[in-house]
Amino acid sequence: MKIKQVILRHLKLDLLHPFTTSFGTEYDREFILVEVKSDDGISGWAESVAMLDPLYNEETVKTNWHILEDYLIPILLKNEIQHPDEISEKYFTHIRGNYMAKAALEGAVWDLYAKKQNASLSSVLGGTKKEIEVGVSIGIQDSIDSTLEIIETRLEEGYKRFKLKIKPGWDVELIDKVRKVYPDIPLMADANSAYTLQDIDRLAALDDFNLMMIEQPLAYNDIIDHADLQARLQTPICLDESIHSLEDARKAIKLGSCKIINIKVGRVGGLTQSKKIHDLCQEHQIPLWCGGMLESGIGRAHNIAITSLPNFILPGDTAASSLYWAEDIIEPEVTVENGTIMVPSLPGIGYEPSLEKINKYTTYSQTYSFELV
């Protein structure tokens, strides 16, 4: 495969509802859309999930643009690639970190590769499921009552699992009240690293509520304290922020830092590394689910494809486009029926990027061509 051209676009989409986590509130999403073009004129698409500010991890939209422009795109334009696995396994290995930037470019090549095989992205990744089950991630609200109202609506819409964002002071009472109204719903909490081991009693109090898991309670870069915490808790710990690689996953499993892992393709450096973590976790009976980063339809399509692999056992965070955006940039939008998304069988990501809508939300763009490298 010879990549002739890469186009980076900077887009801004307003969220329908602000999204609050323990680290801050998002009102919109600014992100980089990557388009790669081969010599036969086929395009592959992906998006970077890096946020505007380094609050979830250290990457940002600007650091991603820099790493893509100055390092990753030149490597891709200079080399002929036989298979997308080579990108993270061979060509990007000497560039440290910057996983979201790497994943964005690699993801676009995966889409292109699948289209060239006339196969769905799901099938070239080894996906086996024809449909996937999804839940929702519910941000921190002004009151417990408004949280209960959102749960009621999402329950009626059919979502299969309810994740509530928590932080110190918005935790035990919240979960207690939700459990009193909904004793049986699949419920979990995500702390986005808001606690330390000093909060162990508060976290242990959550054991009373039959949660499916507690996601990333401790530091964003920790797997040691999480092992101590897991030894004290009945509730499974799920790691998100702390897992960047196959090696991180191996060490976390070995230490007993978690019983579940949330895979975000961007956080772990792309689809190839996601597959490797998938296989390792399957071997160790660690169930997976696919996390979300408030993606546009392009990132959502990639999430659907990876979730079709067999060890994505638990419902993920890939909710319908209409929960986030007035209009999405793909056609058709991602829809959820009875908590289920049909995995597309069309070539590549299986949704058509709408150039008209993409142009509408693009604030600036840059084209990189083979001839100029």
* Residue ranges that bind ligand OSB, judged by CB under 6 A: 56, 137, 190, 192, 240, 291-294, 317, 319
- Residue with Cβ nearer ligand OSB (50 or 73): 50
The listed partner (ligand OSB, Mg ion, none) that binds 334, CB under 5 to 8 Å by sort, is none
- Residue with Cβ nearer ligand OSB (237 or 294): 294
- Residue with Cβ nearer ligand OSB (293 or 305): 293
249 Cβ contact partners less than 8 Å away, ≥ 6 residues apart: 243, 261, 277, 280, 281, 286
- DSSP E strand stretches across the chain: 3-21, 24-38, 43-47, 131-133, 136-138, 162-165, 187-190, 214-215, 237-239, 260-263, 288-290, 330-331, 340-342, 352-353, 362-369
Residue 244 token pair: 């960047």
Residue 336 token pair: 């959820």
> Euclidean distance between the first and final Cα of the chain, in Å?
17
The listed partner (ligand OSB, Mg ion, none) that binds 111, CB under 5 to 8 Å by sort, is none
- What is the rounded CA–CA span in Å between residue 217 and residue 203? 8
| Footprint on residues 207-236 left by Mg ion (CB under 5 A) | 215
Scanning 44-52, 110-118, 190-198, 302-310 for contacts with Mg ion by CB under 5 A, the matching segment is 190-198
* Sign of torsion over alpha carbons 52, 270, 107, 294: negative
**Minimum distance of Mg ion from residue 139's CB (angstroms):** 12
The listed partner (ligand OSB, Mg ion, none) that binds 292, CB under 5 to 8 Å by sort, is ligand OSB
Residue 172, amino acid: V
The listed partner (ligand OSB, Mg ion, none) that binds 294, CB under 5 to 8 Å by sort, is ligand OSB
CA torsion angle for 237, 215, 327, 104 (degrees, to 10)?
A: -80
- Residue with Cβ nearer ligand OSB (30 or 240): 240
**Minimum distance of ligand OSB from residue 318's CB (angstroms):** 7
**Minimum distance of Mg ion from residue 317's CB (angstroms):** 8
The listed partner (Mg ion, ligand OSB, none) that binds 353, CB under 5 to 8 Å by sort, is none
Binder to Mg ion among 190, 248, 295, 328 (CB under 5 A)?
Answer: 190
**Minimum distance of ligand OSB from residue 26's CB (angstroms):** 7
For residue 169, is it left (φ>0), alpha (ψ between -120 and 50) or beta?
Answer: left
Q: Which of 163, 167, 264, 275 is catalytic?
A: 264
Residue among 26, 66, 29, 27 at smallest CA distance from 47: 29
* Full DSSP string of 21-49: ETTEEEEEEEEEEEEEEETTS-EEEEE--
Q: Which of 165, 167, 275, 357 is catalytic?
A: 165
- Residue with Cβ nearer ligand OSB (30 or 85): 30
Task: Kindly state whether residue 240 participates in binding Mg ion, applying the rule CB under 5 A.
Answer: yes
**Minimum distance of Mg ion from residue 320's CB (angstroms):** 19
Chain-centre distance for alpha carbon 212: 19
**Minimum distance of ligand OSB from residue 79's CB (angstroms):** 32
264 is an active site residue: yes
Question: Which residue sits closest to ligand OSB, CB atoms considered?
Answer: 292
- Residue with Cβ nearer Mg ion (35 or 215): 215
Residues contacting Mg ion: total by CB under 5 A: 3
- What is the rounded CA–CA span in Å between residue 239 and residue 24? 19
165 is an active site residue: yes
The residues annotated as belonging to the active site are 165, 264
- Binding residues for Mg ion, rule: CB under 5 A, are 190, 215, 240
